[in-house]
Structure 1
Amino acid sequence: MKNLLSAADLSVAEIDSVLDLAEEMAEVQSRPIKKLPALRGRTVVNLFFEDSTRTRSSFELAGKWLSADVINVSAKGSSVSKGESLRDTVLTIAAMGVDAMVIRHPASGAPAQAAAWTGIPVINAGDGTHEHPTQALLDAYAIRNHLRRGNHDDLAGARIAIVGDITHSRVARSNVALLRTLGAQVIMVAPPTLLPSGVDTWGVEISNDLDAVIDSVDIAMMLRVQRERMSGGYFPTPREYTVGYGLTRERLAAMKPGAAICHPGPMNRGLEISADAADAASSLILDQVAAGVAVRMSVLYHLLGGEEETT
């Protein structure tokens, strides 16, 4: 890998390589001293034009635990707030001799453009409503570990429902690409108003009825309702959305034995997911958070680590 811009760019072998190395990286999280020398002397810049807690923190921890020097740059308080363009910001940072950039930006395609401008490795940490490939990788990591504890050896053939605000979700787009590459059966469940144009070309099942599929899936991945991106009436009221598409206590009880729950966070408890579901024994939500650091360590190593030893 030279960059990680889209989950669709990854082959099965590349995905497996990232996830397998992430399993080794996960062992670091349980050590008293959480450091590996793999990226000593490397410098990674986290360039975030949107607010983030999980993604930014996990990329920072991932870099530091690999002994890289990590610098966080946010749009607020930077020259961006004075009117500097994305191109000038990216080129200025690259001119300082950094080794990689992690970019989160509200415009779809911004990380790909940055990679073209600079030639240094760029990781897409979320761009507009386009993609969020490391989120899809960590979701696959958490799901794979869960399935391996049950009746599946891997994701191939697993039925995974992605439920909710698909129109505004870059997580959904990356997950569809990655999960289909791994052979999973993906069902998109949403009201018609929250299904994007062209979704029928994605190669997935589509349903407007969560109750019709909830008892047949291995994983229910609930998406956050992104009200900050909504300018019109996508659904009548929050209550009606919950009744139709929320993972309520009743739907939790209807899930088949061994099925699990995912959510990329942050959660709107009581809207797309009930407290009972979020905190259930079958919830992988905290597993996803923990996986974020290990997976991003693996991605950074694949881009910057070369052939050096990781342990």
Structure 2
Amino acid sequence: MKNLLSMEHLTNDEIIAILDRAAQFEAGEVTTLQRSYHIANLFFEPSTRTKTSFEMAERNLGCTVIPFDAGFSSALKGETMYDTVKTLEMIGLDAVVIRAKEDEYYNELLEGIHVAIINAGDGAGQHPSQSLLDLYTIKKEFGSFEGLTITIAGDISHSRVAKSNAIALERLGASVHYLCPPEWAGNFTAHHNWDDLIEESDVIMLLRVQHERHKVNKDFSKEGYHEQYGLTLAREKQMKDGAIIMHPAPINRGVEIDTTLVECERSRIFEQVQNGVYVRMAIVETLLKGRE
């Protein structure tokens, strides 16, 4: 594995290997990297969890993290993504983690760039490291994916999390359902009310309403969306025994989920954040070891 760009590019064996390595890191194992590598995190969109999680993972692996501030970079002067990454490569970096507004921005980097590229989110496209940490969270809970019923609810068409997880979960044997307003389904076949989903699901995965990606905003009040499509207190009481709640965050409290459920017994929302460090350690180590 030279780069991590999309869940479509990973085999099931590669996915399981990353999850297994993350479990070893969580158990206290240390990296076997032969030297300290240089990495930069290029975030052209806002991020709290993903950016700091990668930085922590890189430092845990003994890497040197080279600061990069997109708001003060030559990208503001019109420099292309290719030229930015090529510059960092020639300075001596070994890998870059990139989040960008453009779908599949990485296509222009596949010829002529030799550093490892990790896609930390491309527009409304893919978010493979988030998908892998979601998979890790589910695997820790249930042991496997075969036979699980998972409902992904929210802004489906704009969600790179939904698209990445849809690919992986279905390939690994889970049954995946989608719930959203009709105009937010995109290419997905989606339910538009909860019906029996709430009682059947082993995992309820909620998604943030991405107002910034809507050309025409759906005229939902906060309360209106919550009552129709959110995880309310009443719906949580209908969930099956052992079912869990997930959300990639950031959370619109009181919109996708009642605020009192964010840290309830079923919730794995903040555990997902913690799991993200171990998974990203496994991702970075896997790519760098492939270059040794």
| TM-score relative to the length of structure 2 | 0.95
Matched, 1:242 2:226: yes
Of residues 142, 145, 157 in structure 2, which corresponds to 1:147? 142
Matched, 1:73 2:81: no
**Aligned partners of 2:31 and 2:285 also within 8 Å:** no
The count of aligned residue pairs is 292
Please give the per-residue CA displacement for 1:34-84, whole angstroms capped at 9, x wherever unaligned: x74626321111111111111011111111111011123131011112222
Alignment of 1:58-207 (within 5 A): 58-148=53-143, 154-196=144-186, 198-200=187-189, 206-207=190-191
Structure-2 change in CA distance of 1:301 and 1:183 (3 Å): same
Indicate the residue corresponding to 1:222 in structure 2.
Answer: 206
User: Which residue type is aligned with residue 73 of structure 2?
Assistant: S
Indicate the residue corresponding to 1:54 in structure 2.
Answer: 49
Deviates further, 281-290 or 229-238? 229-238
**Aligned partners of 1:247 and 1:273 also within 8 Å:** yes
**Aligned partners of 1:39 and 1:66 also within 8 Å:** no
What stretches of structure 2 of length at least 5 have no aligned partner? none
Give 1:295 shift. Answer: 0.3
SS of 2:245 mapped into structure 1 = strand
User: Which residue type is aligned with residue 119 of structure 2?
Assistant: N
User: Which residue type is aligned with residue 16 of structure 1?
Assistant: I
Query: What is the root-mean-square deviation in Å for CA atoms of aligned residues?
Result: 1.7
User: Residues of 2 paired with 1:258 and 1:103: CA distance?
Assistant: 36
**Aligned partners of 2:180 and 2:192 also within 8 Å:** yes
User: Residues of 2 paired with 1:159 and 1:212: CA distance?
Assistant: 12
User: Residues of 1 paired with 2:219 and 2:196: CA distance?
Assistant: 20
Give 1:175 shift. Answer: 0.5
Aligned sequence identity (%): 41
**Aligned partners of 1:166 and 1:172 also within 8 Å:** yes
User: Residues of 2 paired with 1:307 and 1:79: CA distance?
Assistant: 29
Of residues 247, 259, 267 in structure 1, which corresponds to 2:243? 259
SS of 2:40 mapped into structure 1 = strand
Give 1:108 shift. Answer: 0.6
What stretches of structure 1 of length at least 5 have no aligned partner? 149-153, 201-205
Give 1:112 shift. Answer: 3.5
SS of 1:3 mapped into structure 2 = coil
| TM-score relative to the length of structure 1 | 0.89
